[in-house]
Chains A and B, each alone.
Chain A
């Protein structure tokens, strides 16, 4: 996909703005103040860059501009009677050093990276609700605005804006720290970070409504965040595994939708258009995760192995279904999950035939409201020759499908089903 010059410019502003924000939060001690300043600088960039061209060092331009904006805001606040700032922005606010040379100083890349890692852990702090963690990560680390995040989560923009305001208030008032946790807390805190990144990725390739088959930007952001965490915490097996999992999934992107934008199921995908460079990179990362995990596979490693099975299979039929069923069994042992049980049942059907698959599907009781469960049952019933029941299952799947492309796909299958 090629970006137009306007999109290129907007992308640069967004990505660099997010990096500037991480550093500004540390120097200002206030998320709200830093966000407002960066927002002002982003607006200034979008006004002047199209006219004057993108500066040689966009981050430096945004850093200095944002710092001046923050300085102006602080001066205005200080001039106001009662100094309400301390109450509104939280007690964590530290007076910034206002010397002119400090305003013009631009931090080296290494400092920006450390600041972003701190910010990741702040956004994913367990004292924040998971939905707030995800929203904050996308707002502050990916630089997406409240409207874009709201569309991603299918909530009204005002709801998302309110969610972000509440999260910022909690960070300021409860003083959620801006630092990388110590060794003792790290495993638990890292799990929270990985869950947030994974959620962003799953939302990107399985949007629960709307007309897009793939939300390219969110998937790319999730990969970028996973890369960042992997770069800053090298050798963590679950970080390596999550990055591998995201790359395996992203590699299938070119085959996931047809020309009309409708989803193409794995069985029907053209494997020659998969991104084989990404698959090779993911395989290398997964191998390293296996080496470093000492024989104990975490949930992301198991999921990465599952993705790897599909990535290396020459065809859908030639997939190693036995290994896939075994991996799902291990995943289910870590945590009961109806969606995992559904995928396992589909794999059982491929390995042992449609009757065994249908029995495994019918054993899952929690999925009666899922279009995926009805669609899987329809496929098993069709293979068993029971087209009457298969049609009925497909009709329910169409009714429950949350997005228009999925409805179209299932309706087409219903049309193609031979009459009973």
Chain B
């Protein structure tokens, strides 16, 4: 089995905290409970803070308001899904409400030994 991060993207300005959307995610979460290894919902990008350090680790910490990249589609959360292969992961991702409200990007999670962190 492998773990995939299903990254959830919605068009900028859409509201993903409505009762309707929450209910859809609750239904998916209940139906796919056995395959979900984790889930994260993010607050809107208005609450985002971007941090970077210029000139190496010892440089000045630069803090700016807002998301890292201004984009038409923004990351709103993610699921960690366990699946035997990509076809199974695609089948699961197609049931996430964001698949029809926005877009879902599947990224395989690297096995523990090869992670950079």
Where the two chains meet, the residues of A that have a C-beta atom closer than 8 Å to any C-beta of B are 83, 86-87, 91, 125, 127, 173-177, 181, 185
Contacts and interface: CB of A to CB of B under 8 A. Distances in A.
Contacts of A185: 87
B114 A86 contact: yes
A173 B85 contact: no
Contacts of A86: 111, 113-114
5 contacts: A125-B86, A127-B86, A127-B90, A174-B86, A175-B85
B32 interface: no
Instruction: Name the residue among A87, A91, A125 with the largest chain B CB count within 10 angstroms.
Output: A91
Contacts of A83: 113
A181 B87 contact: yes
B108 A174 contact: yes
Given A86-B113, A175-B85, A181-B87, 17 more contacts: A87-B110, A87-B113, A125-B86, A127-B86, A173-B108, A173-B110, A174-B86, A174-B106, A175-B2, A175-B84, A175-B86, A175-B89, A175-B108, A177-B84, A177-B85, A177-B87, A185-B87
A169 to B, nearest CB: 11
A87 B86 contact: no
Given A173-B108, A174-B106, A174-B108, A91 B86 contact: no
Contacts of B89: 175
Interface in B1-36: 2
Nearest to B114: A87
B113 A176 contact: no
Contacts of B114: 86-87
B111 A87 contact: yes
Contacts of A176: 85-87
Chain A contact residues: over half helix, strand or loop, or mixed? loop
Interface of B: 2, 84-87, 89-90, 106, 108, 110-111, 113-114
A181 B111 CA distance: 26
Contacts of A127: 86, 90
B106 to A, nearest CB: 7
Nearest to A181: B87
A91 B106 CA distance: 17
A173 B90 CA distance: 15
Contacts of B2: 91, 175
Contacts of B106: 174
Instruction: Name the residue among B87, B90, B111 with the largest chain A CB count within 10 angstroms.
Output: B87
Contacts of B113: 83, 86-87
B86 to A, nearest CB: 5
A248 B84 CA distance: 42
A132 B111 CA distance: 25
Contacts of B110: 87, 173
Contacts of A173: 108, 110
Instruction: Name the residue among A86, A87, A125, A173 with the largest chain B CB count within 10 angstroms.
Output: A173
A268 B1 CA distance: 60
B95 to A, nearest CB: 14
A177 B11 CA distance: 31
Nearest to A88: B114
A86 B115 CA distance: 12
A337 to B, nearest CB: 28
B65 to A, nearest CB: 35
A107 to B, nearest CB: 23
A29 B67 CA distance: 41
Contacts of A177: 84-87
A174 B88 CA distance: 11
Nearest to B4: A174
A174 B84 CA distance: 10
A232 B90 CA distance: 26
B111 A91 contact: yes
A37 to B, nearest CB: 23
Contacts of A91: 2, 111
A25 to B, nearest CB: 14
A369 to B, nearest CB: 31
Closest 4 CB pairs of A and B: A87-B114, A177-B85, A175-B85, A174-B108
Instruction: Name the residue among A87, A173, A175 with the largest chain B CB count within 10 angstroms.
Output: A175
A173 B84 CA distance: 12
Contacts of B85: 175-177
Nearest to A91: B111
A235 B67 CA distance: 54
A31 to B, nearest CB: 14
B2 to A, nearest CB: 5
Contacts of A175: 2, 84-86, 89, 108
B117 to A, nearest CB: 14
A83 B2 CA distance: 19
